[in-house]
C-alpha cells in the first residue's frame, strides 16, 4: 500500500495537525512503515490460535500463565494514605 506526500499532507490537514514542510518526509516514512507492518499482519495464518498466542508470536512476548495469584484487596491497599472499602481514594483532578 503506497502513501504519497499528498496523502500525508491531506491527513494532517484533516486531523488539524500543524506540520512543517520539512516534517513531511519523516512522517511519510513512518506512516509507510506502519502500513507495511499492517500488511505483514494480514498475511499471518491465525487459524486455531487464540488472542494470547497471537500476541506472543507477533510481539515476542513471553507466554502468560493461565492463572496469576494476587494478594487480597486489604493487603494491596494496606499502605494507601486513604482508602474506603478496600479502594484507593485519589484527589479529584477534573472539574
pTM above 0.85, yes or no: no
Low-confidence ranges of the chain (pLDDT < 50): none
Q: Where are the domains of the chain?
A: 5-59
Q: What is the DSSP string of 58-73?
A: HH-PPPPPS------H
| pLDDT tens, residue by residue, 53-73 | 656 666 655 666 666 777 888
Amino acid at each position: 500500500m503506497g502513501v504519497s506526500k499528498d496523502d500525508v499532507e491531506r491527513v494532517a490537514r484533516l486531523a488539524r495537525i500543524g506540520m512543517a514542510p520539512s516534517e513531511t518526509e519523516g512522517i511519510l516514512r513512518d506512516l509507510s512503515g506502519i502500513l507495511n507492518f499492517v500488511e505483514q499482519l494480514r498475511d499471518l495464518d491465525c487459524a486455531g490460535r487464540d488472542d494470547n498466542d497471537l500476541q506472543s508470536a507477533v510481539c515476542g512476548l513471553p507466554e502468560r500463565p493461565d492463572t496469576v495469584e494476587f494478594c487480597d484487596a486489604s493487603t494491596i491497599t494496606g499502605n494507601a494514605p486513604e482508602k474506603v472499602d478496600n479502594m484507593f481514594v485519589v484527589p479529584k483532578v477534573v472539574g
